[in-house]
Amino acid sequence: MRASAAKRVIAAQIAAIRIAMQQICAARLRSPDLAPCRDAVSAALEQRHVGVRKLWREILESIGIDAAGAE
């Protein structure tokens, strides 16, 4: 497999993982147990997602993948 093809595969897999993580977090937020603190949990998750997105961009850029439009 050529390097550029491998990079595209890795980027696609990372995007799929990120989407799955977001879906899991969203499902947990719908839990009745979290209703009283939903806003605080949502804000904390959003801050964490910002950090994770930054790390993914840095990782992708470190292996030569332009992640500027990957959001």
- pLDDT (tens digit, 9 = 90+) per residue, 18-35? 787 777 777 777 778 777
- pLDDT (tens digit, 9 = 90+) per residue, 50-68? 888 888 888 888 888 776 6
Q: pLDDT band at 69, cuts 50/70/90?
A: low
34 occurs within a structural domain: yes
Domain residue limits at 58: 3-62
71 occurs within a structural domain: no
Q: pLDDT band at 70, cuts 50/70/90?
A: low
70 occurs within a structural domain: no
Q: How far apart are CA 41 and CA 1, in angstroms?
A: 42
Assess whether pLDDT exceeds 80 at residue 6.
no
Domain count, the chain: 1
pTM of the model: 0.51
69 occurs within a structural domain: no
What is the predicted pLDDT for the residue at 1? Answer: 53
Q: How far apart are CA 20 and CA 5, in angstroms?
A: 23
